[in-house]
């Protein structure tokens, strides 16, 4: 299929075929990426429980990089797809070059944070010297070398928007394989490599991200004619930056506040024990793993929505959203059943002791109930974000990942004083958020003219 056909298929082929072609490769690559995050924690757990706790405490702050990288990538890919659908290549090019300039600025910001903020942030969280020292080392390396995470997310998303999800899958798999290979080598000092402990885990992670970014740049330049002359030519255009941030800000704020939320929840759990914090870290990694197919589905869906919205194909927009909702609900329901059966096996993978196993069984069996509700809410949110209803998406995400979650943990902790019952906050919050999101989604459909109005007809070429 030619590069032109890759874009055209989003408005011509059957929706289930297009969504499958666009999303499946990304789902696979996201699964592999999530797997190496889990494997990373498994190796770290073999160092000590304190090492696992340190990584768990670092995770929310590490995710700030991901929040900015993913959010702005969503913004630029949605707008680039839309302008390509409209045939306005000049505006599409301005957004690519502006995103490159913004990525360089974000990289410099995290270098400063890594050097000056990592230590104070960890010392504010715990008075256990070993946890603070290991956590500071891990976070500093991840922030100072964040360029790989930032640029890999950006260029991978461009490959998807250009109708080449298989190439995006290749870049992610390259990064994941790099991490999986070098994790044990650098942590435990196998072969010619020195034993670096938790620093080795961090270097393996950022090394994989940098390798993924390099591969993504090469594939964009070789295969994507529409972007190859722009991706390495940074030029800041204020109007393009505002557009990217307007579309991407809900994701940035959501993931950023999710990091802040995890920080506060960790403080609540530390009142009980550092083990409870380690268990929460395991749940966060497991939840992230479960959501990877939804992230892949979202990536394919956003590109299809943006392109067809630009061509006034509201009928295809509607079909895409409906199919994404059904697929996400089905996948997460299946995972719910599986994970309810095997929580003990999951904890064994993380070298769980008796206390961690006791807390972890209650945590996992309770929290996995939230998966189908959260997945559908995410599809609602991404659809609204991609199609000029970012305020709805932002409101849903604020409820789901910040306001209600912190309130739920704090309230249940105050009422029950139980490490077993406090985890009920997760499914309760997701069910409430789903109900709110469903109301806003119906209003959003009315605004598009899908409900209670005639659908727009395809624009004639």
Is there a contact between 85 and 310 (Cβ–Cβ < 8 Å)?
yes
Asked whether residue 42 is assigned to any structural domain, the reply reads: yes
Q: Distance between CA 174 and CA 169 in Å, rounded?
A: 9
Q: State the total domains in the chain.
A: 1
Round the average pLDDT of the chain to a whole number and report it: 87
- Of the pLDDT bands very low, low, confident and very high (cuts 50, 70, 90), residue 3 is very low
Length of the chain: 461
Judged against a pLDDT cut of 60, whether residue 456 lies above it is answered with: no
Q: What are phi and psi of 342, to 5 degrees?
A: -120, 35
pLDDT score recorded for residue 6: 56
Whole-structure pTM value: 0.73
Is there a contact between 166 and 111 (Cβ–Cβ < 8 Å)?
no
Q: Distance between CA 142 and CA 204 in Å, rounded?
A: 10
Judged against a pLDDT cut of 80, whether residue 34 lies above it is answered with: no
Q: Domain limits at 270? A: 10-448
pLDDT score recorded for residue 308: 82
Asked whether residue 46 is assigned to any structural domain, the reply reads: yes
Asked whether residue 461 is assigned to any structural domain, the reply reads: no
Tokens of 188: 């435990």
pLDDT score recorded for residue 8: 62
pLDDT score recorded for residue 17: 84
- Of the pLDDT bands very low, low, confident and very high (cuts 50, 70, 90), residue 5 is low
Least confident segment among 379-383, 390-394, 442-446: 390-394
Is there a contact between 252 and 106 (Cβ–Cβ < 8 Å)?
no
Asked whether residue 375 is assigned to any structural domain, the reply reads: yes
Q: Distance between CA 269 and CA 426 in Å, rounded?
A: 14
Asked whether residue 458 is assigned to any structural domain, the reply reads: no
């Amino acid at each position: 299929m030619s590069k032109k056909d890759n874009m055209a298929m989003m408005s011509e082929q059957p929706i289930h075929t297009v969504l499958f072609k666009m999303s499946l490769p990304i789902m696979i690559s996201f699964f592999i990426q999530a797997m190496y995050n889990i494997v990373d924690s498994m190796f770290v757990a073999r160092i000590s429980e304190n090492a696992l706790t340190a990584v768990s405490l670092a995770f929310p702050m590490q995710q700030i990089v991901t929040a900015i990288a993913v959010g702005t990538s969503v913004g630029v890919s949605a707008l680039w797809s839309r302008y390509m659908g409209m045939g306005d290549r000049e505006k599409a090019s301005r957004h690519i070059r502006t995103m490159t300039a913004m990525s360089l600025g974000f990289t410099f910001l995290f270098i400063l944070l890594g050097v000056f903020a990592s230590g104070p942030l960890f010392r504010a969280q715990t008075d256990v010297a070993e946890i603070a020292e290991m956590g500071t080392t891990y976070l500093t390396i991840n922030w100072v070398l964040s360029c790989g995470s930032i640029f890999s997310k950006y260029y991978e998303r461009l490959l998807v928007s250009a109708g080449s999800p298989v190439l995006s899958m290749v870049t992610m798999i390259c990064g994941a394989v790099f991490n999986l290979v070098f994790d044990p080598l650098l942590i435990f000092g196998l072969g010619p490599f020195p034993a670096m402990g938790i620093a080795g885990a961090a270097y393996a992670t950022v090394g994989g991200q940098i390798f993924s970014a390099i591969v993504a740049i090469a594939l964009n330049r070789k295969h994507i004619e529409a972007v190859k002359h722009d991706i390495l030519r940074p030029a800041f255009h204020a109007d393009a930056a505002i557009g990217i941030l307007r579309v991407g800000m809900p994701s940035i704020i959501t993931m950023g506040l999710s990091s802040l939320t995890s920080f506060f929840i960790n403080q609540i759990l530390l009142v009980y024990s550092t083990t409870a914090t380690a268990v929460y870290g395991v749940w966060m990694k497991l939840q992230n793993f479960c959501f990877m197919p939804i992230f892949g589905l979202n990536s394919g869906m956003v590109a299809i929505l943006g392109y067809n919205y630009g061509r006034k194909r509201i009928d295809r927009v509607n079909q895409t959203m409906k199919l994404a909702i059904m697929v996400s609900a089905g996948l997460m329901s299946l995972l719910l059943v599986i994970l309810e059966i095997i929580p003990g096996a999951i904890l064994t993978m993380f070298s769980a002791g008796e206390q961690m196993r006791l807390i972890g069984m209650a945590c996992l069996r309770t929290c996995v109930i939230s998966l189908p509700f959260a997945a559908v809410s995410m599809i609602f949110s991404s659809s609204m974000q991609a199609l000029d209803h970012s305020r709805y998406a932002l409101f849903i995400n604020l409820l789901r990942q910040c306001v209600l979650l912190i309130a739920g943990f704090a309230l249940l902790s105050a009422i029950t004083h139980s490490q077993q019952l406090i985890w009920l906050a997760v499914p309760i919050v997701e069910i409430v958020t789903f109900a709110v999101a469903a109301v806003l989604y119906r209003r959003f459909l009315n605004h598009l003219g899908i409900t209670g109005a005639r659908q727009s007809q395809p624009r004639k070429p």
